[in-house]
Amino acid sequence: MGYATWASRTAEDAVLIMESRGLAPQVRGFHFTDFWSRLYKTNEYFLDITCRPDDAQSRLTGQVMLSSGEDIQETASVRLYQGKELVAEVEVDSYGQFNFALEKQGEYELKVVVEAKMISVSPLRVN
């Protein structure tokens, strides 16, 4: 998708409605980590985003769903920015899922384009 196409979209900020962080399962209980999972909502969509930090790189995964709970039927693109720099771009799969491997820590902004809407999630802190 070209910049003009992205720029012409109606922008909407996603609202954080639920977050879990810091606990990961282990054999005999849980231990604290920089792992987090967040659920964001707009009028029409849910964004479920998870960050799994590791020594070499972090994995940012997510899913775009209709607020009705159904999978999206449209093609959607997801872009990840660090500052003004475009770091990565992917298309969601048939279930609305996406996946990024990140080598740099810091704050990111995630933008999702579905139909004529652009959904923005910021800031996303990756440790």
**HSE (side-chain half, CA atoms, 13 Å) at 57:** 8
Q: Residue ranges per domain, the chain?
A: 3-126
- Tokens 């909502």 sit on residue: 41
Query: What's 3-126's CATH class?
Result: mainly beta
pLDDT value of residue 57: 83
pLDDT value of residue 75: 86
pLDDT value of residue 53: 81
pLDDT value of residue 4: 41
**C-beta of residue 80 within 8 angstroms of C-beta of residue 98:** no
pTM for this entry: 0.81
pLDDT average per 10 residues of sequence, the chain (127 residues): 54 92 58 78 94 83 90 88 93 94 88 90 85
**HSE (side-chain half, CA atoms, 13 Å) at 70:** 5
pLDDT value of residue 26: 55
Rg (CA), the chain: 15
pLDDT value of residue 29: 55
Distance CA 26, CA 123 (A): 29
